[in-house]
Amino acid sequence: MKRREFLKATPCLALFGPRALPEICRDLDALEIPPQLSKVEARYYQKLPDKEIECQLCPRQCRLGNKERGYCGVRENSEGTYYTLVYGKACSVHVDPIEKKPFFHFYPGQITLSLATAGCNVNCKFCQNWEISQVRPEQVHHFDFPPRMVVDTAKKYDCPIIAYTYTEPVVFYEYMVDTAKLGRRAGLKSVVVTGGHINPEPLEELISVVEAIKVDLKSFTQDFYDQYVRGKLQPVLEAIKKIAASPIWLEIVYLVIPTLNDSVKEIKNLSRWIKAEVGPDVPLHFSRFHPMYLLRNLPPTPISTLERAHQIAREEGLNYVYIGNVPGHQAESTYCPRCGTLLIKRWGFEVSKINLKDGKCPQCQTPIPGIWD
Amino acid sequence: MAKVIVAHGEILSKNGDINIARLKNIVIKSLRSLFDNLALKEVLLQIFPRPGKVGVKINTIAGKKLSTRPEVALTLSQILAENHPGLSRIIIWDRTNRELKKAGYRLQQRGKIQVFGTDTKGVGYESKLTMTTNIGSLFSHIQSKFIHHSLSLAILKDHGLAGVTAGLKNYFGAIHNPNKYHDQNCDPFVAELCTTPPIKAKHRLTIIDALLVQFHRGPSYHPRWASRENKLIFSLDPVAADHVGWQIIDQLRRRAGLPSLAEENRPPRYLHTAEALGLGHTSTNMEILEVEG
Ligand code: SF4
């Protein structure tokens, strides 16, 4: 089955029936979820005296006593040993186009087996998936989906790529890394969609087992991170630099929220930083905000604001700038930065035309950075 | 002026047994002392002026050794049930049945006094978020729907982040995402949570089980820093009750040669925030009465 036919037949396929859908235990009948959580020893933590531990996976570095859980809610100290409770416990599994992540310069037109567990190490007030990211694993329907089954399922559904996404994959790090390793042995690629809150050492290991990472850069000010994300900006910038300096593919998404992170100054600073520290060729997606979760008092981002951000980033010298969540906008497509030829035509998550020749513009031969075949 | 009763008596023996008769006597005496020795039935009518169901929110996160003791919760519930005909049901509750059982509670979903967790079939959490200034949470249906009056029957412990966990912080167990409330020494999160309608409109009384107090390295149990204090704290003012709990922890720390919570830069600042938000009083405007039993 061709990819297009497949998507048509199964738009955003939920592979495991209704139980695969995010559904918090919200009503009277929905409960009695068996608390079958995993008890797999976590990686990247330090044992401390008196059965305390310090998690070293993300910059929060939660220090926890016996029986306590980290901020992400999915890792627990039990008698001085730290465990991940979500190893192989997926709460959302779908087949999505790679454009939905979004990756625009990484196997355009391919499909991914996309999965998530519960939990997140920040608390964005505009989270689209808060019903699975901001809950504990026992509060959401989940099912056993160990790494071997993920790989087998991806193959069964002809998905060449596994995507770790929807919530924050850093918090299900062990599950992600083991699945990616197994997937690679089976010829599958792995991509990660993350907020970039991860410490350098685990990030290094992650880079060695996956093929691409997309970072959601939520703003370019610490003030915004304090108020709307509850995280730190600097470690995210460091993570972006590290990924950019590695052999794997990187794309950046910036959700533009009216009045909060959309000023000309902020977009300029962001674009300059990306050009100087990451390079002009990293794809940058300005994505449209819709009122969500705890930020319902703001309107959707005006298209003109997104277009202004797009223009600023282009003027600052970034070569591949996109507008997202606006289906049909011309800035969804890829153009040659040198001669302006349309290279990849998109409509929403659909790719209708790929006009590259050996990874180059067919018109002026400019090499277009990305992973294409 | 906030009144806080600090009751003291040989309730918890060295081998861990509870003297139920003495406990009952002390609970009744303390409740009456809150209202200048009014008769018990009158006292309960003052605390629960309208008929309805009572939620007794306990803390069972740390297992049998360091949770609100079942004997305390059940004795209190019996006193309420026997002396206030308008209280149709008393629900002793916490987050999960697993934790309740581990802390020594027998689950019970029938009768006037019931014991169950939010994860019981047919209970669960609200689907609509309740917002604080900073965070949004889903409340347990027990707190939001099942009960009319709420009583925080907490346990007194040192807490590595919050400084102290007692009556106010006990309500972290009423929401689905307490892990998101631990930044900045839980300040202002504890206080803000307690200003939300499901808590503020229903909270009637704080009782703190300080029979065994973990004064260092909490909130988990470490026998080396746990002291058998044999105290119970009662107050209609949730901030004042916790403030007295804080003083007890600091006293024990001093006695053990440990720095105070303020010296360790983790005093429970959320109590001052709670006072500023109108939830009660800290050190000023407080009358502390001792009750022996
Ligand atoms: S991964 Fe979770 S437990 Fe570890 S430091 Fe981050 S928030 Fe804390």
Q: What percentage of chain B has pLDDT greater than the value 70?
A: 100
Same domain flag for A46 and A13: no
Residue A17 domain-assigned? yes
Residue A202 domain-assigned? yes
Residue B172 predicted with pLDDT over 50: yes
Q: Which of B131, B155, B176 to mutate to test the interface with A (most CBs of A within 10 A)?
A: B176
Q: Is A78 on the interface with B (CB under 8 A)?
A: no
Ligand 1: centre distance to CA B198 (Å):
29
Mean pLDDT of chain B: 96
pTM, full prediction: 0.91
Residue spans of the domains in chain B: they are 2-292
SS3 B186: helix
Residue A80 domain-assigned? yes
CATH number of B2-292: 3.40.50
Same domain flag for A190 and A298: yes
CATH code for the domain in which residue A205 is found: 3.20.20.70
What ipTM was estimated for this complex?
A: 0.90
* Residues with C-beta less than 6 Å from any ligand 1 atom: A 55, 57-58, 60-62, 70-72, 75, 121, 171
Ligand 1: centre distance to CA A121 (Å):
6
Minimum-distance CB partner of B124 among A25, A52, A66: A25
Q: Is B9 on the interface with A (CB under 8 A)?
A: no
AA letter at B283: S
Residue B290 predicted with pLDDT over 80: yes
Q: Which atom of ligand 1 approaches the CA of A173 most closely?
A: 1
Which chain A residues are within 8 Å of B124, Cβ to Cβ?
Answer: 25-28, 30-31
Q: Which domain holds residue A44?
A: 40-84
pLDDT at position A1: 35
Same domain flag for A104 and A149: yes
Same domain flag for A287 and A336: yes
Nearest chain B residue to A122 by CA: give it: B180
- Number of A to B CB contacts under 8 A, please give it: 85
Same domain flag for A277 and A329: yes
Same domain flag for A293 and A244: yes
Same domain flag for A171 and A236: yes
Same domain flag for A79 and A196: no
Same domain flag for A141 and A155: yes
Confirm if A327 and A348 have CB atoms less than 8 A apart.
yes
Burial annotation A131-156 (CB, 10 A radius, 16+ → b, else e): bbbbbbbbbbbbeebbbeebbebbee
Q: Of the candidates A352, A244, A240, A327, which has an alpha carbon nearest to the alpha carbon of residue A7?
A: A352
Q: Which atom of ligand 1 approaches the CA of A60 most closely?
A: 5
pLDDT at position B93: 98
Same domain flag for A221 and A298: yes
Minimum-distance CB partner of A135 among B96, B135, B176: B176
Which chain A residues are within 8 Å of B220, Cβ to Cβ?
Answer: 51, 65-68
Same domain flag for A312 and A197: yes
Residue A158 domain-assigned? yes
Q: Is B121 on the interface with A (CB under 8 A)?
A: yes
User: For ligand 1, atom 2, which residue shows the shortest CA distance?
Assistant: A72
Q: What percentage of chain B has pLDDT greater than the value 90?
A: 97
Cα separations in angstroms, B41 against A212, B23, B236: 69, 18, 16
Q: Is B222 on the interface with A (CB under 8 A)?
A: yes
If you average pLDDT over residues B63-74, what whole number do you get? 96
Cα(A289)–Cα(A302) distance, integer angstroms: 9
Q: How far is B80 from chain A (nearest CA, A)?
A: 28
Sequence-distant (6+) residues with CB within 8 A of B94 are B57, B58, B59, B60, B61, B100, B103, B117, B118, B173
Ligand 1: centre distance to CA B204 (Å):
36
Same domain flag for A162 and A297: yes
Tokens found for residue B151: 């009583």
AA letter at B229: E
Q: Which atom of ligand 1 approaches the CA of A75 most closely?
A: 3
pLDDT at position A35: 53
E strands, A99-139, are 111-116
Q: Of the candidates B74, B56, B71, B72, which has an alpha carbon nearest to the alpha carbon of residue B143?
A: B56
Q: Give the residue ranges of chain A where pLDDT is below 50.
A: 1-34
If you average pLDDT over residues B3-10, what whole number do you get? 98
Which chain B residues are within 8 Å of A29, Cβ to Cβ?
Answer: 122
Cα separations in angstroms, B180 against A42, A121, A133, A169, B140: 20, 9, 11, 17, 16
Of A84, A99, A114, which marks where a domain is finished?
A84
Residue with tokens 């990819």: A3
Domain count, chain A: 2
Q: Is B61 on the interface with A (CB under 8 A)?
A: yes
Confirm if B153 and B73 have CB atoms less than 8 A apart.
yes
Per-residue model confidence as pLDDT tens digits over B173-212: 999 999 999 999 999 999 999 999 999 999 999 999 999 9
Secondary element (H or E) of residue B248: helix B238-255
pLDDT at position B293: 86
